[in-house]
Amino acid sequence: MRAAVLFEAGAGGLELRDDVVALGPDQDEVRIRIRATGICHSDLSVINGELPGGGGAMVVGHEGAGEVIAVGSRVAAVAPGDHVVVNWIPACGACDDCRAGRAHLCMTFMANLFERPHFEVGGAPAFGMAGTGTWAEEVVVPWQAAIKIGHDVPFEHAALLGCGVPTGIGAVLNTGDVRPGDSVAVIGLGGVGLSAVQGARLAGATTILAVDPVEAKHVLARRFGATDTTAPEGLAAARDRLTGGRGFDHAFEAVGRSATIRAAWDVTRRGGDVIIVGAGAPGDNLEISSYELLFAARNLKPSVYGASDLRRDLPKLITLIKTGRFDVEGLISRRLRFDDLPEGVAALDKGEAVRQVVVFD
């Protein structure tokens, strides 16, 4: 089958292959025929080496949806023919975090990603990104990573429900404590940030500042509910103008850099929340003095995967989409074929795209 394989991080490291095999399923796994998969910034970060991939050959992609085509003997939650979203932080349901309602912190599967390869490329073993690897015609994942949805959800929309949408909206609705009338800044307007903008609107924020260097993203952000927009250089002035200099109640960082986390900190009010949504590089250190950390009195909150539990959150998200309250179609800037993946990655790198979705026929 076809799959996009990263042999080595860096330019030219991604190869489109047609000699890839997905291994399994074992008794607790399911095989999914991927019908649509998105290009998320984390894919780009793994390809260019900013995020660690784990070494060795890897099938890229983690935002996908498709149809179940085979299940292991102990799988009851899904059956062949079911449509599913791939969950890249599957929840085991049995660990302390899962039982306490913190499914996004479950490490049961994350801790064992490299126990057993799930692919072979030209006969050699290969792993899938974050235990998935959705830039492939088929993947095999634990059944907990296959979240059933209705047949009426288009696969392109379902794919985005695997990462960008729950990460952005979840940061607001699960991690943030946004109340009607609050002021919000969202820094970075990709698929994740624009989902956060929509989340802020849904939560009733009345000031929503959307920040991005790319002008075209400002137009989109306004369509999704932003009340104000600015380039990064205008951030301090916008804070002063919109909050009387006090700072925003909540600032969401959806870029994945220490500099933008620092910018979010600087525009948040005392007692307000700085919510980290972007995935930064291991060596990119944030500088905040211990003095500031106490006396500036902001709350630094990580929001891994938007603190989402897809099994819990997807039904509501799908209802928001069906009732016109969340615009997922508007996040899709382009539909691509598998062969166009490298070009799509380059477009994301240039800041030209929002969500590009590869559709397998």
The binding site for ligand APR (CB under 6 A) comprises 40-42, 45, 164, 167, 187-193, 211-214, 217, 232, 254-256, 260, 277-279, 348, 351
95 touches Zn ion (CB under 5 A): yes
Q: 41 or 83, CB closer to ligand APR?
A: 41
Partner touching 192 among ligand APR, Zn ion, none, CB below 5 to 8 Å by kind? ligand APR
Contact 84, 146 (CB under 8 A): yes
Q: How far is the CB of 77 from ligand APR (least distance, A)?
A: 26
Among candidate residues 350, 321, 333, 342, the one with its CA nearest the CA of residue 158: 321
Per-residue binding letters, 146-185, with Zn ion (x by CB under 5 A): -----------------x----------------------
Q: 22 or 255, CB closer to ligand APR?
A: 255
Query: To 5 degrees, how large is the angle CA 162–CA 187–CA 294?
Result: 110
Partner touching 258 among Zn ion, ligand APR, none, CB below 5 to 8 Å by kind? none
Q: Give the position of tokens 């909050």.
A: 243
Contact 149, 213 (CB under 8 A): no
- Can you tell me the distance from the alpha carbon of 151 to that of 293, in angstroms, rounded to the nearest whole number? 49
Q: How far is the CB of 81 from ligand APR (least distance, A)?
A: 31
Burial of 327 (0-12, 13-18, 19+ CB in 10 A): middle
* 36-57 burial code (b ≥16 CB/10 A, e <16): bbbbbbbbbbbbbebbebeeeb
Within 10 A of 304 (CB to CB), how many other CB atoms are there? 17
Q: 106 or 274, CB closer to Zn ion?
A: 106
For 273, the token pair is 């929340």
108 touches Zn ion (CB under 5 A): yes
Q: Under 8 Å CB-to-CB from 301, ≥6 apart: which residues?
A: 175, 176, 273, 274, 275, 276
Judged by CB under 5 A, the stretch of 107-115, 138-146, 285-293, 329-337 that binds Zn ion is: 107-115
Partner touching 122 among ligand APR, Zn ion, none, CB below 5 to 8 Å by kind? none
Q: Under 8 Å CB-to-CB from 219, ≥6 apart: which residues?
A: none
Within 10 A of 205 (CB to CB), how many other CB atoms are there? 28
Q: How far is the CB of 43 from ligand APR (least distance, A)?
A: 8
Q: How far is the CB of 197 from ligand APR (least distance, A)?
A: 11
Partner touching 189 among Zn ion, ligand APR, none, CB below 5 to 8 Å by kind? ligand APR
318 touches Zn ion (CB under 5 A): no
Residue 274 corresponds to which amino acid?
A: V
Judged by CB under 5 A, the stretch of 42-50, 76-84, 297-305, 346-354 that binds Zn ion is: 42-50
Partner touching 193 among ligand APR, Zn ion, none, CB below 5 to 8 Å by kind? ligand APR
Q: Under 8 Å CB-to-CB from 11, ≥6 apart: which residues?
A: 48
Partner touching 92 among ligand APR, Zn ion, none, CB below 5 to 8 Å by kind? Zn ion
Judged by CB under 5 A, the stretch of 108-116, 117-125, 206-214, 300-308 that binds Zn ion is: 108-116
Q: What is the DSSP letter of 61?
A: -
Q: Which of 23, 92, 113, 214 binds Zn ion (CB under 5 A)?
A: 92
Partner touching 45 among Zn ion, ligand APR, none, CB below 5 to 8 Å by kind? ligand APR
Query: To 5 degrees, how large is the angle CA 320–CA 30–CA 137?
Result: 80
Binding site for Zn ion (CB under 5 A): 40, 42, 92, 95, 98, 106, 108, 163
